Amino acid sequence: MVSEYEDYNIIHYGDYEKKYVLHMERKYSFNSCQMVILSKIKQRLLNALSLIYGYVYFPTYGNSLKEIAREIGFNWSSNLSGHKSISLRYQWESSKSKKAMEKLRKYNVEDCLALYEVINFIENSICIEEACDEQVVPAKSLNKKATFKFGNSEYLIKELEYFNKCSYFEYQRDKVFVRKPSKKRKSRVKKRKHKNVRVSTVIDIPYLRVCNRCHCSNVYRHGKLEKVVFDLKFTNFGVSRYIIKYRSDRARCGSCKSVFTSPDYLSIKSKYGSSLQIWVVYQMIALGLTYGKIVEELWSVFGYQVSRQFCYAIKRSMALHYEPTRKQIINNLNKSNAIYADETSINLQGIKGYVWVFVSQTEVLYIFAPTREKKLLDEVLTEFNGVLVSDFYAAYDSYKGPQQKCLIHLVRDMNDDLRAHPFDVDYKSLITELSKLLYEIVSKVDKYGLRKRFLHKYLNKADNFMNKVSCYEGSSEATNKYKNRFTKYKDKLFTFLDYDDVTWNNNYAEHAIKVFAQYRRVADGSFTKNGIEKYLALLSISETCKLRGIDFLDFLKSRKLNLHETSYSSNQKRNT
């Protein structure tokens, strides 16, 4: 039939017709003349869906031919669908019913007419900018929206939407939007001094009455000493400026003539008190303020003029002070039954690095690494024997113990591919079966919680699904893609069914990463290697306090190093 035409295009909708032609070419043998015609047919095939997808946006939920054709005014004479037409085809093959054959012919003819109307509509809309048709609007005239945004994903299958919603059973968090930093002013800042330096209290330190060299008691005063320390004073309902003046005397031995000072006076090395240092760390870590913001706050609120180097020095000294607490967090992580891991990139003054986070039910640990290699996992998880919950990054596969891959990552990827392949019947069948299984499991979790006692019975259903996927003979690219993915991670997708209090998602780690990412928005590019390591050490303690229900400021004020010694916040104590 097509050999009667010299110049033609065969327009079809979707890639089924092209696959059918290739299948016929492999199945039957053709002579040389027929092969020339067949070669020309393959060159002349034109997929109308490729003209629409990404270029023309109809006001429909999908890009199916029926939805688009009905939108532009074409209607079918019967309610016959693609699935029903297959059933009707089998009916005709078995009975040779003329009525069934006539219905099939009419349905296919109307499909061709619908495709003709769609192509005709697109051709008439090409010069729409000159025609100014009210029904068609150029895409570039619309306001562009951001591709990446906070919000819920829209799922095409209701079971997947329910599955995603249930991942926030015990870890729902409000979204935080960080304001963009303003541009730096080029004007020079005048050098400022402390405002209204008025001493709050005076402490007299007695001088030594015995010589620390010859131990003689013939000691007399030999000059006065004074030192002013700028500090803060915490009260039940706020914080105020507190300036302390320390006074003492130098002493001189009448026998050996040596001059010495009281060790208590010499121990006061910094002109800034411990409460002020705690306040700076709290503003930096818990509230995410930069050095510049902290310097400005201390000046405008308390009248203290400090430098950015002062903030860095405090961060370094406090990180060293709480190093035993950080080691305690690492030990507790290795003793937990599950660890949730994730990583993100960071800019160190033009050099790329990575921040890793490891989270359990009560501990959070942030670690900087110059690379994304699996070596860090071996260093941190030295004695860990529990379940490692992570995304599908290959480095996590080096862990030898039980693993649980984040099913939310898998479901979101599958949902995106379903949008990209809305007419792939094989793939839609695969994702529908998975969604039904996940819906059953999460419904049970919603009722009884993450308990092996109630979830263990779904292991057989999960194994049956995996075996069915491995034998799946889908021909589409998306189906084969996820068939290989399910086969690769067969033993790591439903591990949570065999353990107590192990989730199917990686929300714990992702939330911890977001906490750091919010600070990265305003400080990215200004970090140094030493600076980020000290910051992450303190951030680990802050987020661990949050998980344990401990107020981070109260923990700092307690001067304790053991997190187990603090079980509640001061606010909770006052309320009781």
* Domain map (residue ranges) of the chain: 2-131, 201-308, 322-403+506-573, 407-498
Name the residue with higher pLDDT: 196 or 484: 484
Dump pLDDT digits (tens) for 116-164. 998 888 888 766 555 455 677 776 676 655 555 556 667 777 777 777 7
Residue 102 has pLDDT above 80, yes or no: yes
What are the residues whose beta carbons fall under 8 Å from the beta carbon of 76, sequence distance 6 or more? 66, 107, 110, 114
Given this model, what pLDDT does residue 177 score? 41
Q: Find where tokens 């084969």 sit.
A: 480
pTM comes to 0.66
**pLDDT, averaged across the chain:** 84
Cβ proximity of 389 and 340 under 8 Å: yes
Strand partners, 200: none
Average pLDDT over residues 467-482: 80
Amino acid identity, residue 255?
Answer: S
Nearest to 49 by CA among 12, 9, 10: 12
Show the CA angle centred on residue 528, arms to residues 524 and 534, nearest 5°.
100
SS3 141: helix
Given this model, what pLDDT does residue 570 score? 45
Q: What are the CA-CA distances from residue 205 to residues 218, 225, 263 (Å)? A: 19, 10, 10
Question: How far apart are alpha carbons 224 and 573 in whole angstroms?
Answer: 45
Neighbours of 309 (CB within 10 A): 9
What are the residues whose beta carbons fall under 8 Å from the beta carbon of 342, sequence distance 6 or more? 356, 357, 390, 391, 506, 509, 510, 512, 513
Question: How far apart are alpha carbons 446 and 442 in whole angstroms?
Answer: 6
- High-pLDDT (> 70) share of the chain, %: 88
Architecture in CATH of 322-403+506-573: 2-Layer Sandwich (3.30)
Task: Mean pLDDT check: name the lowest of 21-35, 43-57, 124-138, 382-396.
Answer: 124-138
Q: Find where tokens 């500090």 sit.
A: 231
Given this model, what pLDDT does residue 192 score? 63
SS (H, E, C) 441-452: HHHHHHHHCCCH
- As given in the structure block, the two tokens for residue 224 are 């006065």
Dump pLDDT digits (tens) for 209-221. 888 788 888 888 8
Strand partners, 343: 356
Average pLDDT over residues 39-53: 86
> Would strands 219-235 and 238-253 be described as parallel, antiparallel, or unpaired?
antiparallel
Task: Tell me the pLDDT band of 79, cut-offs 50, 70 and 90.
Answer: confident
What are the residues whose beta carbons fall under 8 Å from the beta carbon of 493, sequence distance 6 or more? 404, 405, 407, 410, 462, 466, 486
Average pLDDT over residues 390-404: 90
Dump pLDDT digits (tens) for 162-176. 777 777 655 444 444
Neighbours of 401 (CB within 10 A): 11
Residue 190 has pLDDT above 80, yes or no: no
Residue 369 has pLDDT above 70, yes or no: yes
Given this model, what pLDDT does residue 469 score? 84
Average pLDDT over residues 457-464: 90
- High-pLDDT (> 90) share of the chain, %: 28
Given this model, what pLDDT does residue 143 score? 64
Neighbours of 262 (CB within 10 A): 17
Residue 319 has pLDDT above 90, yes or no: yes
